[in-house]
Amino acid sequence: MSKFMSIYEKPALLTIMAVIVIAVGTIVTMVVPLFMKDMTPHNENNHPYTPLELEGRDIYIREGCNNCHTQTVRPFPDEQTRYGKVSETWEFEYDRPFLWGSKRTGPDLARIGGKYPDKWHYEHFKDPRSIVLASIMPSYAFLEKNPLDTTYTLKKMETLDYPYTQNELIALEGKTEMDALVAYLQRIGNTQKPEAGTKAEQIIPADAKNPYSADKAAIEKGEHIYMEKCSACHGKDLKGSIGPNLIDAEWLFGGTERDIFISIYDGSPKGMPSWGNKISNDDIWKVSAFIESIAAGEKEEKAVPAFKLPDNTKNPFEGNADAIKTGKEIFLKNCAVCHKEDATGNIGPDLTDEEWEYGSRDNQIFETIYNGVEAEGMPKWGKNISDDNIWKVISFIRSVAKKK
């Protein structure tokens, strides 16, 4: 015992013993994992940050966003409903430092990318309480005034060994700090494929009707929910701001009671969050009852129904060379501003690819041009261009699409 006790007479020996004792747990739980593959798995969907995203991430770090927001979804049903798919190890391969956080004063951000449109984030950063009334988040309006400092961007990309293009670096010119931060937020969690959660189609019968259409108390409750959760994007008057107008009788995703329920439940990839299970199905019906009640009042004032054609109407000028030529002239004059001279899209979408947001049949394209898409800024051309000329423009669009 006395020999053993001599350790307490020798500071160097005691120090060495202490180092050995702390080394055991350190080696097993911290050093060994550094060499284990399951700590750094790679997934082909994952990719490093772009220069703009990386600069945005550094602003996220600078402002200490991780003090209030976590970036890991835990494997519980409530978190999957509230935030999205459970976080996986490979998603964080390029994160230096990691930003998982330890406190949720604000919500988790692991799946924030793509949840809202950019404009939502700009408005929210400038004045959080204009979007979320109960929010206690600081205002970050100053980020919009600060030009992005790109002095070290190149060095950062090289140090981290992330691929980049000269164009990406040039594109940083003129960006603000807020631009970068929004770009980063829209990237978070985006390499993960969204989970195939419950879709409204699975829970709602084909002939579903709103049970609250004429229920005053329910409509009032719906109004309350709308004002709290929907009005920031669709406006207190329902006429839209970040999101589309809800009372102009134009429904992007269908206007039946069932369609509206589905739109609210599933959300849309364009930045409408999915509300399914975040509020009860009952509450979804109540909100739509409220919207319908306001829309019905509006309709009486200006009931101009959208122009419709029979489903299998064909373009009378399909393939006609003269018509394509005329169509091109009309297109260059009226449409190229948004869709570009070669119709590959700029402000408006690409018209030469396979994707038709509002339907690819001749009659659907005609209706889209004729009626316009107010929420997207596409004018109602039916008032200014004759029906024949609309068909000719379609012929032109079809001709450039085919060439591809």
Partner 1 sequence: MKDSPTYDFSSSRGFLLSSLLWGTAGLVLGFYLAMEFLHPQLNFAPWITYGRLRAAHVNGLAIGFGAGTIIGLSYYMVQRLSKATLFAPRLARFNLYFFNVTALLAVVSLLAGMTSSKEYAELEWPLDIMVVAVWVMFAISFFGTLYRRKEKQMYVALWYMIGTIVTVAVIYIVNNLEVPISLFKSYSVFSGANDANVQWWYGHNMVAFLFTTPVIGFFYYFFPLSVKLPIYSHRISIIGFWSLVFAYLWTGAHHLIYTPLPDWIETVAIAFSIFLIAPSWATVINAFYTMNGNWEKMKSNYLTKFFVIGMFFYALQTIQGPAQALRAWSRIVHYTDYIIGHVHMGTMGWVTLTTCGSIYYVASKLGSKGIYSEKLANIHFWLVLVGQLIYTISMWIAGIVQGFRWKETGADGSLVYAFNDLLKFNMPFWSARSAGGLLYLIGFMIFIYNVWMTLKISPESDVKRADL
Distance in angstroms (rounded) separating the CA atoms of residues 75 and 396: 52
Contact 83, 111 (CB under 8 A): yes
User: Judged by CB under 8 A, does residue 45 bind partner 1?
Assistant: no
Shortest spacing between CB 277 and partner 1, in angstroms: 4
Binding-site size, partner 1 (CB under 8 A): 88
Distance in angstroms (rounded) separating the CA atoms of residues 247 and 297: 9
Residue type, 374: E
User: Judged by CB under 8 A, does residue 33 bind partner 1?
Assistant: yes
Would you say 222 or 349 has its CB closer to partner 1? 222
Shortest spacing between CB 86 and partner 1, in angstroms: 8
- Answer for which of 85, 124, 229, 398 binds partner 1 (CB under 8 A) is 229
Would you say 64 or 310 has its CB closer to partner 1? 64
- Answer for which of 53, 58, 123, 223 binds partner 1 (CB under 8 A) is 58
Shortest spacing between CB 279 and partner 1, in angstroms: 6
- Answer for which of 169, 249, 252, 279 binds partner 1 (CB under 8 A) is 279
Distance in angstroms (rounded) separating the CA atoms of residues 36 and 183: 32
- Answer for which of 128, 189, 222, 327 binds partner 1 (CB under 8 A) is 128
Each as own residue / partner, the long-range contacts of residues 58-65 (CB below 8 Å, 24 or more positions apart, any chain) are 58/156, 59/143, 59/177, 59/180, 59/181, 59/184, 60/99, 60/181, 60/184, 60/185, 61/97, 61/99, 63/140, 65/99, 65/109
Shortest spacing between CB 53 and partner 1, in angstroms: 14
User: Judged by CB under 8 A, does residue 176 bind partner 1?
Assistant: no
Residues in region 281-300 near partner 1 by CB under 8 A: 281-283
Shortest spacing between CB 190 and partner 1, in angstroms: 16
Distance in angstroms (rounded) separating the CA atoms of residues 110 and 72: 5
Site string for partner 1, 86-125 (x = CB under 8 A): -xxx-xxxxxxxxxxxxxxxxx------------------
Q: Which stretch binds partner 1 (CB under 8 A): 59-67, 165-173, 187-195, 206-214?
A: 59-67
Distance in angstroms (rounded) separating the CA atoms of residues 320 and 398: 11
Would you say 79 or 362 has its CB closer to partner 1? 79
Contact 89, 59 (CB under 8 A): no
Shortest spacing between CB 11 and partner 1, in angstroms: 5
Residue closest to 193 by CA, chosen among 94, 272, 114: 114
Residue type, 143: L
Residue closest to 47 by CA, chosen among 118, 95, 110, 112: 95
User: Judged by CB under 8 A, does residue 280 bind partner 1?
Assistant: yes
Shortest spacing between CB 134 and partner 1, in angstroms: 4
